[in-house]
Structure 1
């Protein structure tokens, strides 16, 4: 169920774009994201900071796209989101001496501090990579190519998260059942 909630805005955006155009797709994305956040809030009784940032960026960049009738805004939203994430994670460690990943996920899993630091830095690099690749596709390819990249580009985060899972699994403590 959660995976469906996570992906339905992008799937609806893709469908609306293919059936109509980028502007209808953008409106559908905005509405679907509002519904998505409502569902998440209903289920979890809260929205994470990332949810709030994503919603704000979609609404701001989507509104600019629709009001100014300029598709560049919605195409640059992922670049801004990933860049903000990279900057936030990097500043947290280097300036405030806080590891946001550990703060967010530390209650769910226990890992040594050096592992948390490596994970944080890998996320910074990943976010920079995703920001740059989206910027490149948005700037140098057609809207059609960018929309296809957005849909099929979800392979990047899936591969990244699976790889992180393999890395983390080496450090997780398991409770062996006693016979």
Structure 2
């Protein structure tokens, strides 16, 4: 359910764009859809993730500029800015609390050596920075329609591929350390 709520604003943007081929109109619909997403999340969970707040702020500012100036380039920068902010957050995370961000997110389910957490975190930093750069390349080099398709399918596909590669990397370390998964031992 939560994943569906997270995906809804981009799906609304994509559908409106596909129906109208008007990035300004699609963005004008994206803004209230993102506000509704954040409000629903607050109502349902009584908590809003920082990622949602950053995304909301960027959608309102860059989406507002897109609508106000009738220029789709503003909203095209949003994925790059979001990804680069995530990259910086992952990079700087060890400075705040001594743990990497990826370790904080996954340590309840995995026990890994510090160097593996560091490599994994740096891989996410690189991924976010590269994905942001690829977004710029796509919106500068291809048509608006191609960028809209890339934003939905390309970025999602690249993210899923990266997560699978991360799984392969983690599996290699779990084979060497069978106790690396913090699951209760069950006798069946």
Report if aligned partners of 2:38, 2:48 keep a CA contact under 8 Å in 1. Answer: yes
Alignment RMSD: 1.9
Which TM-score applies when normalising by structure 1? 0.88
- What are structure 1's unaligned runs of at least 5 residues? none
Aligned residues: 177
Separation in structure 1 between the aligned mates of residue 44 and residue 120 of structure 2, nearest angstrom: 28
Post-superposition offset of 1:5: 1.1
Paired residues for 1:1-179 under 5 Å: 1-20=1-20, 21-93=22-94, 96=96, 97-106=98-107, 108-112=108-112, 113-153=114-154, 154-168=156-170, 170=174, 171-179=180-188
Separation in structure 2 between the aligned mates of residue 56 and residue 103 of structure 1, nearest angstrom: 25
- What are structure 2's unaligned runs of at least 5 residues? 175-179
What residue is the counterpart of 2:177 in the other structure?
Answer: none
Separation in structure 1 between the aligned mates of residue 70 and residue 85 of structure 2, nearest angstrom: 25
Separation in structure 2 between the aligned mates of residue 98 and residue 175 of structure 1, nearest angstrom: 24
Which TM-score applies when normalising by structure 2? 0.84
Cα deviation per residue 1:23-67 (whole Å; 9 max; x = unaligned)? Answer: 110011111111111222222211111111111111111011111
Post-superposition offset of 1:146: 0.5
